[in-house]
Amino acid sequence: MNITVVRSGGFAGIRRTWRVVVNDESSAAVDEWLHIVDACPWSDAVDLDGDGVPDRFVFVVTVEALPLESASTSQLHATLPESRVVGPWRQLIDRVQASDRADT
């Protein structure tokens, strides 16, 4: 399973990507990530784009190669403005960024 966070906009307008490849061999690791992924309201945030607030970020979150037994689809995708990055979205994005930073 891969989770990608693309952040665009912001004052700098610099596009940055964070990515984590979850080891599918480790069911503990997969479960931990799925716990957060499943908590995010994906259908509410498919195509939100920006919120019209100058210089705030826009996030695109993509989950690929989801374990099939856990979902009806193998891919999830959401676009959301920074003001909507709260709760589980916030947890997911923070965690992907932190894991990617730790890797490099």
Partner 1 sequence: MRCTIVPPYLLSRLARLDEAGLGGVAAAAHQTLMQTEPLRETRQAVAPRAAPPSTASPRPERTISDAGGREVLPGSVVRREGGPESGDAAVDEAYDGLGATHALFADAFERSSIDGRGLGLDATVHYGSRYDNAFWDGERMVFGDGDGEVFRRFTLSLSVIGHELSHGVTQYSSALEYQGQSGALNESVSDVFGALVEQHSRGQAASEASWLIGEELFTDMVEGAALRSMKAPGTAYNDDILGVDPQPAHMRDFVDTRDDNGGVHINSGIPNRAFFLVADALGGYAWQRAGRIWYDTITAGGLEPRATFVQFARATVEAARARFGATSAELDAVQRAWASVGVEL
HEC letters along 9-69: ECCCCCCEEEEEECCCCCHHHHHHHHHHHHHCCHHHHCCCCCCCCCCCEEEEEEEECCCHH
* Candidate residues 9, 20, 96, 100; the one interacting with partner 1 per rule CB under 8 A: 9
Tell me: does residue 52 bind partner 1 (CB under 8 A).
yes
Tell me: does residue 77 bind partner 1 (CB under 8 A).
no
Instruction: Give whichever of 58 and 76 is closer to partner 1, judged by the CB atom.
Output: 58
Measured CA to CA, the distance from residue 86 to residue 74 in angstroms comes to 24
Of all residues in the shown chain, the one whose CB is closest to Zn ion is 55
Shortest distance in whole angstroms from residue 25 CB to partner 1: 30
Which of these segments, 26-34, 36-44, 49-57, 66-74, binds partner 1 (CB under 8 A)?
49-57
Taking the CA atoms of the chain, what radius of gyration do you get in angstroms?
Answer: 14
* Candidate residues 5, 20, 30, 58; the one interacting with partner 1 per rule CB under 8 A: 58
